[in-house]
Structure 1
Amino acid sequence: MPIFNPNKLRRIGREVFERIGATPEEARIVADLLVSSNLAGHDSHGVVRIPQYVSGVQSGQIQLGTTVEIERETDATAVVNGHWGFGHVTATEAMHIAIQKAQKSAVGIVTVHQCNHIGRLGGYPVLAAAENMAGLMSNNGHGADLSMAPWGGLGRILPANCLAVAFPSDRDFPIALDLTAATAAGGKMRVALARGERVPKNWLIDAEGNPTTDPAAYVHGNAALTPFGDHKGYGLSFIFDILSGALSPAGCTRENSPVTGNALFVQAIRIDAFQPISDFKAEIGQFIDYVKSAKTAPGFDEILVPGERSYRTGCEREANGVPIEETTWEQICETAKKFDVEI
């Protein structure tokens, strides 16, 4: 598998998006967030998405040069319309709005509609953590993006709704959780297919409810993702759908929704409204030390805390390069050449 300098990937992403008409700021935000997903080890939401977003612009699904609009607000809340611009740009702005409101009101909550795919949710709550706040974000598929079966049911009925949370800590990385309510995200099926790999048998079920390990059955067929932990993942997906959909004009998941994108629930919490930030970070530090003091289970060398593995992966890939599947790189090169972007 070829290895690439992350700065090269950022440049290619920025230049491709600018060549299709994105503003320099739009191009920078999207490219940086895509590469940050690769750095964190979430390759399914990294530069593999460049051709997808180019197609979205060309089809008119992604509108360039749009401005995020606050349609309704209070001191602590806002309802935001992304006007179908780049989802990454809309989500970034929504988190900034939540942070600004939390600075004044201790808590800021924003819901978002008319927002395209935002990629990895974990890229946004860390913006709040960098401001010594807690950040939280959940999503649904803007009523559509059906990919997961409900617990006890068959077929693609729900999206693989997600939750991401981040807290500042006294370590070199924030405590950060980024999960999907599915056993594995749909993007991982595309990565497995690109690598010619099978997937674990509990990730997918076919139309009759039988497990399948063929990622093509999902990418090109009608196989459905399974909820993690059976009723637990299903229940969480239901809650994420309500937070993100029912609290915004996008609505909850339904049959024959006219559009696909992401509706969002975004929250920032100003920690020093509850505890001095130094005390909070010290408490997080002792909690980390306590958990890591446990005896390791067979097959484990150490105990990691949420966000630590992605941080380590990021350090390693920033220094030594990002691995990209050959088929993915070929698709990126093909896209770049169409717009005379140097590879």
Structure 2
Amino acid sequence: MMKYNYGGFLNTAKSLINPIIKLPTEINDLEKLRDILKKDITFTLFKNVNKRKFQSLKYIPERDGGDNLKFFTCFHNLCYNTETNDIEEQKEYFLKALNDHPYFFTEFYKGMNNIKSMDELIKAFDEIVMDESNIIIDGSIVALKHVATGKYLTSIDNLHYTTGSEGPIVYTGNSRFDPNACWYIFVNNGKYNDYIYTKSDISFQHKISGNSLGICNYSQQVRYSRHLSRTQYKYHKSPSSNHTEVNCDGNEREWKIDYSRLENYEGYLKSNDIINLSIKKSFDINGHTQDGQVEFLRSHDVQFTIGNDTFQEVVCHNERLAENDEWCIELIRQA
């Protein structure tokens, strides 16, 4: 009797079944009870309801208010409730749930053929989520660490150059993180919360001051004679090395990202990537031009002073690229 009644479990299970479901009297084990219940119309309705839920299941990233643990639990339960046991069918349902989010959809699709079980599916997607959390998104807060010195690109709102533009200074400061080294990063002409790619045109806005990282052009009237003069266009020079000054209130602010160690690489910009930053000048000596000089952001050992304080200079230059032109971009907070 124990063999068939499972120590009383069978009677307990039968007592929990809704009375509207009529059970044959000859049921004497749990397997037979399960098979009978599966043939009932209510089970068919149950499966169809869950299949509709499966078909409408949508993944919501955690940064948009989603909960990955709840999503995985729901997905797993829907597989069970709809008797979707084949891993290929499970993968198709999972991929469909990612359809509104191109990054997750694409990355999961790339590795689908290597997934052979539910555990592997969950592990693979969790790795994709972890990788996505390191992607720098439009509106994120970042820091730029100078690779050669380990010092952060910094600006102080109320501290200005005493030469050149006399705008807010930019320099490489402490090797320890400082709030003055926080910058918002934006894609120019992009959408807020878009992923940022290499080759993107971007701008950096200082988190504390709200001013933007850039360079500054100005016009100057040059007189050749009593009756002849001409307007020339120039850029303010850095205080010590006579390169192009970099400040935190420039009138040219559009930077381009390149991977310094992977030529022609195109992909998502991620935390701890090593990059070069360049800016294309909008003017030459004669005026506005489409073929302006491209210069790169550099910090070096040259210093300048303001009062009794000494700062490590940051400039733009058009010389050959070197290790002083490499910056490590660190994600402080994803948008």
Larger radius of gyration: 2
Q: If the length of structure 2 is used for normalisation, what is the TM-score?
A: 0.22
Greater relative contact order: 1 or 2 (C-alpha under 8 angstroms, separation 6 or more)? 1
More strand as a share of residues: 2
Q: If the length of structure 1 is used for normalisation, what is the TM-score?
A: 0.21
More helix as a share of residues: 1
